[in-house]
Amino acid sequence: MQNADVGVFFDEWRRKVIEISKQDIEKANILIDSLAYIKDFHQKIVVIKYGGHAMISEQMRQRVISDIAWLSYVGMKPIIVHGGGPEINRMLELQGVEPQFINGLRVTSSDVMRTVEMVLTGSISPNLTTMLNEEGVSSVSVSGKDNKIMEAVKKDESLGLVGQVTNVNTDYLRQMLDDNLLPVISPIAHGPKGESLNINSDEAAAAIASALNAEKMIYLTDINGIYEDPADPTTLCSVMSADQIQKAIENEMITGGMIPKVENCLDAIQSGVRSCQIIDGTIPHAIILELFTKNGIGTMITA
């Protein structure tokens, strides 16, 4: 190799070393920036309601599960309460049953309840648990009916086997967390006669977060949050107080399916949950962006 060639080689080598060093330093700075947030949430309970379109794609599921696994590894105590509406609808349609809803709640006959349990506890929950275990996180798939994690009464006879949560077995949930297990909970409750009751997953997450005095509750949805003007993406509300939420409902700034979501958030906050976040779970690494960056994403609801 000629001297000139040697010089070119070492110049190129130095350039690559500098580039690598800059990249590593940038990554290190990002980790250091997140340290304050990691300290804030260390050993704190975070209840994550996971459902909707964020569950449909296998790629999206994997990203969400990787985020939740990361929470466990940095010392947080996540709990997943999952939905499964689209999957339940598909299964019912395959059975020749048309899904019916009243005010956004699924009308649940005995036959529909069997399908709900089959999809939630027999398919979705075990799948999520398997994915977490593959990430090295010890997790357990449970129905909210198991050990009376959730007890409920019928909400309205017109809805059939749809329940309103009356009690949460916090001792059982805390024992799982103390054993370093991540609960993956299907929103099914134990009824007064031992029957299974279908619980709206938003309500189930709020009930569990409230009972455990969770530090935070996160709703993974397929929308970015709450907007002053839904037609204008620049009007996203980053933070809203309980009073502002009430006024937004009265002024019809919040409408439709968002109303029960924010009402569940308000119930949780009034019961001691520090904050509730509504974020778009289809955004890559949405949970990490929310918890460990300065501005977060979505809309945070506080007291």
Residue 280 β-bridge partners: 221
194 annotated among ligand-binding-site residues: no
114 annotated among ligand-binding-site residues: no
Phi then psi for residue 46, to 5 deg, are -125, 120
Q: Which residues contact 200 (CB under 8 A, 6 or more apart)?
A: 104, 105, 162, 187, 260
DSSP percent split of the chain into helix, strand, coil, nearest 5: 50, 20, 30
122 annotated among ligand-binding-site residues: no
- β-strand pairing of 196-198 with 188-190: antiparallel
d(CA 163, CA 219): 20
Sign of the CA dihedral running 287, 293, 297, 302: positive
d(CA 97, CA 179): 41
90 annotated among ligand-binding-site residues: no
Residue 190 β-bridge partners: 151, 196
- Cα 235 to its chain centre, rounded Å, is 24
C-alpha distances (whole Å) from 46 to each of 19, 115, 207, 291 are 38, 29, 13, 10
DSSP label of 57: S
Phi then psi for residue 295, to 5 deg, are -95, -15
47: enclosing H helix or E strand:
strand 45-50
Binding residue positions for substrate: 84-85, 106, 198
